[in-house]
Amino acid sequence: MKTKLLIVIGVATATGLYADTPIQLSLVPDIALYPRTTTVTGLSLNIWGENPQMSLHIGLVNGSTGDSGGLSWGPINYSDSFRGVQLGWVNVSKENFSGWQQGYINVSQGTFTGLQSGLVNVSEDTTGLQLGVVNYAEKLKGVQIGLVNLAMNNPCFTELPDKLAPGFPILNWSF
């Protein structure tokens, strides 16, 4: 695991050397090498950072604004639209997310395509897999695996209270 992480950091750093913003250092969004409106294409090291990104973000709080992508690794990761991987305790995407969210709590308030894995996974519109203890999707086109799985577009929901099973333990799906 450590070797894979070092390879990812090395590749991201090496490719960032040829980028317009090879490195971003941020204490808070307004105290950083580059303004929060600058797109970071290299390595970003943050206490709390908030930029559009196409890079590797490592920090305590990683914010990705606009249409961003890459890898965000830290306790808290949030984004507008994101393509890539968010690894943290809490991962939140406001609009579109495509990729993998791994954390204790994963939330996608818009369209989610990919894999959410953690204790609690919540999504507005999911295409893919939710793997967790509690999985919730307003609209599911895929599979949920966990103790509590709720897909609100499941036909059983429209026929409540006559029909139960608004969700299923262990496995739920909707296509």
pLDDT tens digits, one per residue of 57-96: 999 999 999 999 999 999 999 999 999 999 999 999 999 9
In the chain the first and final C-alpha atoms are separated, in Å, by: 35
Q: Are residues 10 and 63 in the same domain?
A: yes
Is the sign of the CA dihedral 36, 40, 42, 48 positive or negative?
A: positive
User: Is residue 126 in some structural domain?
Assistant: yes
Would you state the pLDDT for residue 164? 47
Residue 48, domain extent: 1-73
Number of domains forming the structure of the chain: 2
For the segment 12-64, what is each residue's pLDDT rounded down to a tens digit? 554 444 568 899 999 999 999 999 999 999 999 999 999 999 999 999 999 99
141 belongs to a structural domain: yes
Domain boundary, last residue among 73, 99, 127: 73
Q: Please tell me whether residues 58 and 119 are part of one structural domain.
A: no
98 shares a domain with 53: no
| Separation CA 87–CA 106 (nearest Å) | 10
Say if 79 falls within a structural domain.
Answer: no
Say yes or no: 103 and 36 in one domain: no
Half-sphere exposure of 62 (CA within 13 A, CB side): 32
Q: Quick one: 139 and 166 in the same domain?
A: yes
Question: What percentage of the chain carries pLDDT values higher than 70?
Answer: 81
Chain centre distance of CA 72: 8
Whether 13 is covered by a domain: the verdict is yes
* Confidence band of 8 (pLDDT split at 50, 70, 90): low
Torsion, CA 53, CA 55, CA 59, CA 65, rounded to 10: 10
